[in-house]
Amino acid sequence: MAQTKEGHDPSKLTRRSFIKATTAATASVAVGGALAACAAPAPQEGLSETGAPSPETEGTWITAACWHNCGGRCLNKVLVKDGMPVRQKTDDTHEDSPDYPQQRGCLRGRSQTRQVLAEDRLKYPLKRKGWSPDAPNGEMRGKDEWERISWDEALDYVAEGLKKAKEQAGNRSILLSGGWNSGGSDMSRVLGLFGGYTEFWNTNSFGAWSKTPFVCGFHHSGNWDQTINDRFDLRNSEIIVMLSMNPAWSAMGSQTWNYWQAKQAGARFICIDPFYNDTYSLLEAEWLPVRPATDMAFMLAVAYAMLEQDDDKKLIDWDFLNNLTVGFDADHMPADAKENVNFKDYVMGAYDGTPKTPEWAEQICGVEAAKIRELAVLMGKDNKVAFLCGMASGRVHNVDNLPQLVMTLGAMGGHMGKSGHMTGSTMHATSGNGGDALIAAGSNGVEGIENPVDDSINANEVYDAILGGSYNWTGAGHAFSATQYQPGEKRDIDIRVIYHPAAADLQTSDGMKKGIEAHRKVDMVVTHAQFFTTNARYSDIILPVTTEWEKDWGFLGGTLVHSSNREMMVHYTKVIDPLYECKSDGEIAVELAKRLGVNENEVAPLTSGQMLYNTLATMTVLDSDGKTYVPAVNITADDIEAMGAEGDPVDGKLEYKELRELGVYQVKREQGDNYGYIAFEDYCNDPVANPLDTPSGKLEIYCQTLADLCNNMGWNQISPIPTYQHVVNGYEDTFSNWDAQEKGEYPLQVINPHYLRRSHTVFDNVGWLREAWANPVFLNTSDATEKGIADGDTVLVSTAYGQTLRNATLTQCLRPGVVAIPHGAWVDVDEETGVDRAGADNYLSGQVPNGLGTSGFNSVICKIEKYSGEALGADVDQPLRIVCKDGE
């Protein structure tokens, strides 16, 4: 399997001879273009024996895409000589300073040459040997052998399979995966024109936060990131409370810098998390070691303790609550309330006889009552508090009111709308830096294509739907719109084709083991892939796609959610020609359109140059007044001609040539500039003139819209006020008898930290990263010792849904009772035992439809035991999955 060139076992080559052996082949790819088929390229040219950059200086520096959903957004450049990358570097476009930082890349971005030119890149189209359109032999998916086929054969097969599904079971039998991204993929255009497809929707990153806008309005077009102030103002906070955050791992690049500046300015940090992670360690945060999936209990008790200790009204900002929120008490109910419940009475126990005291919470969340009372005092209105929440605590079953409770607690202390005070979610590339994009993305001018089919299946029941033939329909186009959710409706569905145009859904969605079963049931599975990923492995046809390094150009940033921090946008250009036989997703879409009888000009209506011009011409930047957006890029008639586009010159701020050369448009920040941002400032200053976009115009501690939405969807019922609900596969489920405190079969809780070795599943095949960041299971030392498990032992982790093996790393940084499986390892199932050997997180999770369709990645329960079989080796020694052989 791990062969690089036919007949050569790489383990017998020294690194240097390996470099020599592959350099010639590499050059021929570059010079000969894409079709030098199967020569193994290697990035090693120009890299020394140790892998350190060579002193190579000749060549051209090109801004390279670092396009992953990695939590960062950085500037990475590649020195290209004779068509091949020879070095990488990061941002040196200006001096680094805290106020105007360089956008420096992380270990993954800097290893990217190793990824793009990896030995296991897919090189040509593949077909599973046992599959044919008429005899799918679905049970062999994941076990069968592969054969190389031509592009024509591959595309004919795919078109035939799609046509057959349409004829036999209608367009709804075609499932286009890719989460809410699928609506924007090239394949969604072809399949939209072909009569439509069934969509798949999830709440991946945001969890329960995806519906927060119902509580506090679609503030600035619904960007959750904008519920906190910008990074400069973070330095004015005295106490920074971090709930489920780890920017040091999950927002690599320069985001941790924002918190570091606040630390330098004297802020005190407190963290609420089962894991004392590197972020908290860096910031010397005080640790409140909450159990996973119990934050609701914890926060309700903080609210109780604020009420309890509000002598002389010193803690609670009653003016804020009375004027700016609805539903806190019986005197401030919204007009649309259907239930006679309010938050304060609930917390005091008026409805269920249980006051939400710190003692009540301690039993559930594990944080001492005294610590909860202390935090309540610190959260009082006279302290400048930033109450910040990452979204991991919302990626939990049955916490649909969690964001509402975070906002409620913040409102109780009046921590919104003024300098140094802020409350809300912050994560990813925007971590610690709320506010509108200072540089806003342009549009390429290509209009979307409607999907005539309105079926859309939630990630929590997609595999049950495939296997069982029905699902709960809750509307289509779920991305960000409030209006598109519909009351639940049971629908029959008969999925015949699963099409993976991008993303890694089988690997990254809940219930992978059932997902594999579902993949084995249908007639055809197709995947566009760069590597032999999990989606690819369980497919019939694999279409090899190019990476962003092989594309003409692109932009990263300019919108907030998941794209970039608010201050910069990267403009990357082509680093290398397309490798091997790889095609872009766009090219594949056009080829399939031809075969499906769909107008390819509608699939790809504009040239690359025209789309580039359109994007540049509509890109805007906030002027130094902090109020007016003006054209960002200056485009001359010569530029337009060189792009081969049509359009007028644009009088913008930065010359296009300069943007291309720099590779980044970063807005320069300095103290006292006009780019600051205080979330909810307008609203708090004048709520009548600037109401929130909610039915009451206020922050809704009682939110009828949220409750109606959830309750109509029908998976389970929630209250319009934040209440404690039983969490399926949460802490209480680790007991067989809660009242007697008897532990059950699965006594431990699992969380999935987003891991520095990977961006989800991406980069997991890069040797450097495997070496730097092993992929263990993290166990609390006492839990492990109790089971006779020592550091490095192979451990079997079992849940009701699946089992996986990992080598243990023991730590005191996880609270007892918690097991951390790093997110995103590529599943590797032993077909005899059904046990995964890779530590794939979702092999342990199940399909649990609930609430607002929220995935419950951090609500999983398990047991651990020392593995009696053969120990796992180090994962750096695991062979790469090389299915495309050289020279074949």
Q: Which residues bind ligand MGD (CB under 6 A)?
A: 69-71, 204-205, 243-246, 249-252, 272-275, 277, 290, 292-293, 295, 390-393, 395-396, 427-428, 501-505, 508, 528, 530-531, 533, 545, 585, 751-756, 758-762, 823-824, 841-842, 845, 857-858
Shortest distance in whole angstroms from residue 555 CB to ligand SF4: 13
Single out the residue of 662, 574, 660, 650 nearest to residue 619, CA to CA.
650
In the complex, the smallest distance separating the C-beta of residue 97 from ligand SF4, rounded to whole angstroms, is 19
Q: Are 44 and 25 in contact (CB under 8 A)?
A: no
Q: Which amino acid is at 298?
A: F
If binding is defined by CB under 5 A, does position 205 make contact with Mo ion?
Answer: yes
**Nearest approach, Cβ of residue 256 and ligand MGD (Å):** 11
Cα diameter, the chain: 82
H runs (alpha helix) in 8-150? 15-32, 112-116
Stretch that binds ligand SF4, among 24-32, 64-72, 194-202, 871-879 (CB under 6 A): 64-72
**Tokens 């973070």 sit at which residue?**
234
Residue whose Cβ sits closest to ligand MGD: 71
* Ramachandran angles phi, psi of 458, nearest 5°: -75, 145
Contacts of 313 (CB under 8 A, 6+ apart): none
Query: Please, what is the minimum distance in Å from the beta carbon of residue 860 to ligand MGD?
Result: 8
Using only the alpha carbons of the chain, give its radius of gyration. Answer: 27
Cβ closer to ligand SF4: 249 or 680?
249
Question: Closest separation between CB of residue 247 and ligand SF4, Å?
Answer: 11
Residues 20 and 28: beta-carbon distance below 8 Å: no
Measured from the CB atom, is 108 or 496 closer to ligand SF4? 108
Least distance to ligand SF4, CB of residue 683, Å: 33
The least CB distance from residue 252 to ligand SF4, in Å, is 4
Residue 66 near which of ligand MGD, Mo ion, ligand SF4, none (CB within 5-8 Å, type-dependent) = ligand SF4
Residue 253, binding choice from Mo ion, ligand SF4, ligand MGD, none, Cβ under 5 to 8 Å by partner class:
ligand SF4
Residue 325, binding choice from Mo ion, ligand MGD, ligand SF4, none, Cβ under 5 to 8 Å by partner class? none
CB of 112 to ligand SF4, least distance (A): 7
Specify the stretch interacting with ligand SF4 by CB under 6 A; choose among 65-73, 163-171, 391-399, 629-637.
65-73
Total site size for ligand SF4, rule CB under 6 A: 14
Nearer to ligand SF4, 154 or 766 (CB): 766
Interacting partner of 105 out of ligand SF4, ligand MGD, Mo ion, none (Cβ under 5 to 8 A depending on kind): ligand SF4
Q: According to CB under 6 A, which residues from 247 to 266 bind ligand SF4?
A: 252-253
In whole angstroms, how close is the CB of 815 to Mo ion at the nearest point? Answer: 24
With a CB cutoff of 8 Å and minimum separation 6, the contacts of 786 are none
List C-alpha distances in Å: 471 to 491, 622, 862: 6, 46, 28
Nearest residue to the partner Mo ion, using Cβ: 205
For 645, other C-beta atoms within 10 Å of its C-beta total: 20
Structure tokens at 17: 């001879």
Q: Which two tokens stand for residue 610?
A: 């025209």
Q: Which of residues 36, 66, 296, 321 is near ligand SF4 by CB under 6 A?
A: 66
Stretch touching Mo ion by CB under 5 A, among 38-46, 200-208, 449-457, 775-783 = 200-208
Binding window for Mo ion (CB under 5 A); candidates: 22-30, 120-128, 205-213, 595-603: 205-213
Of 71 and 334, nearer to Mo ion (C-beta) is 71
Query: Using CB under 5 A, which residues numbered 139 to 158 contact Mo ion?
Result: none
Q: Which of 178, 253 has the CB closer to ligand SF4?
A: 253
Residue 537, SS3? Answer: helix
The pattern of x and - marking residues 478 through 517 that bind Mo ion according to CB under 5 A reads ----------------------------------------
Cα→Cα distances 483→211, 565, 789, Å: 12, 28, 52
Is 694 one of the binding residues for Mo ion (CB under 5 A)? no
Q: Which does residue 696 bind out of Mo ion, ligand SF4, ligand MGD, none, counting CB within 5 to 8 angstroms by kind?
A: none
Which range binds ligand SF4 by CB under 6 A, 62-70, 178-186, 388-396, 797-805? 62-70
Closer residue to ligand MGD in complex, CB, 505/523? 505
Tokens of 865: 């035991």
Q: Coil, strand or helix: which one is 475?
A: coil
3-state secondary structure 278-324: HHHHHCCCEEECCCCCCHHHHHHHHHHHHHHCCHHHCCCCHHHHHHH
3-class SS of residue 227: helix
Q: Residues with Cβ < 8 Å from 413, sequence gap 6 or more?
A: 306, 315, 316, 317, 379, 380, 381, 383, 385, 387, 421
* Residue-wise DSSP of 378-444: HTSTTS-EEEEE-SGGGSSTT-TTHHHHHHHHHHHTT-SSSTT-EEEE--GGGTT--S--SEE----
Give the count of residues interacting with Mo ion (CB under 5 A): 2
Alpha carbons 121 and 127: distance in angstroms, whole number: 16
Cβ nearer to Mo ion, comparing 205 with 547: 205
Measured from the CB atom, is 687 or 824 closer to Mo ion? Answer: 824
User: How far apart (Å, rounded) are the C-alpha atoms in residues 760 and 762?
Assistant: 6
Structure tokens at 96: 């680094």
- At closest approach, how far in Å is the CB of 89 from ligand SF4? 12
Smallest distance, ligand MGD to C-beta of residue 835, A: 17
State the binding partner of 474 from ligand SF4, Mo ion, ligand MGD, none, CB within 5 to 8 A by kind: none
Question: What are the residues whose beta carbons fall under 8 Å from the beta carbon of 583, sequence distance 6 or more?
Answer: 151, 543, 544, 545, 546, 591
| 640 contacts: CB under 8 Å, gap ≥ 6 | 613, 646, 647, 649
List, in sequence order, every beta strand (DSSP E) within 2-75: 60-64
Residue 66 Cβ, how far from ligand SF4 at the closest point, in Å?
Answer: 3
Q: Should residue 109 be labelled a site residue for ligand SF4 when binding is judged by CB under 6 A?
A: yes
Q: Which two tokens stand for residue 429?
A: 């590339």
Closer Cβ to ligand MGD, 315 or 506, answer by number: 506
Give the span between the Cα atoms of 834 and 300, in whole angstroms.
Answer: 41
Give which of ligand MGD, Mo ion, ligand SF4, none residue 73 binds (C-beta under 5 to 8 Å, depending on kind). Answer: ligand SF4
CA 541 to centroid of chain Cα atoms = 26
328 binds, among ligand SF4, Mo ion, ligand MGD, none (CB under 5 to 8 A by kind): none
Q: Which of 839, 808, 847, 845 is nearest to 823 (CA)?
A: 839
Which does residue 575 bind out of ligand MGD, Mo ion, ligand SF4, none, counting CB within 5 to 8 angstroms by kind? none
Put residue 847 in one of left, alpha, beta given phi > 0 → left and psi -120 to 50 → alpha: beta
Residue 385: name its binding partner from ligand MGD, Mo ion, ligand SF4, none (Cβ under 5 to 8 Å by kind).
Answer: none
Residue (of 252, 290, 256, 258) closest to 271 by Cα position: 290
585 binds, among ligand SF4, Mo ion, ligand MGD, none (CB under 5 to 8 A by kind): ligand MGD
Q: Within 69-108, which residues bind ligand SF4 (CB under 6 A)?
A: 70, 72-74, 76, 105-106, 108
Closer residue to ligand MGD in complex, CB, 433/508 = 508
The DSSP 8-state label assigned to residue 140 in this structure reads G
Contacts of ligand SF4 in 728-787 (CB under 6 A)? 759
Least separation in angstroms between residue 586's CB and ligand SF4 is 23
Judged by the rule CB under 6 A, the positions of this chain that interact with ligand SF4 are 66, 68, 70, 72-74, 76, 105-106, 108-109, 252-253, 759
Judged by the rule CB under 5 A, the positions of this chain that interact with Mo ion are 204-205
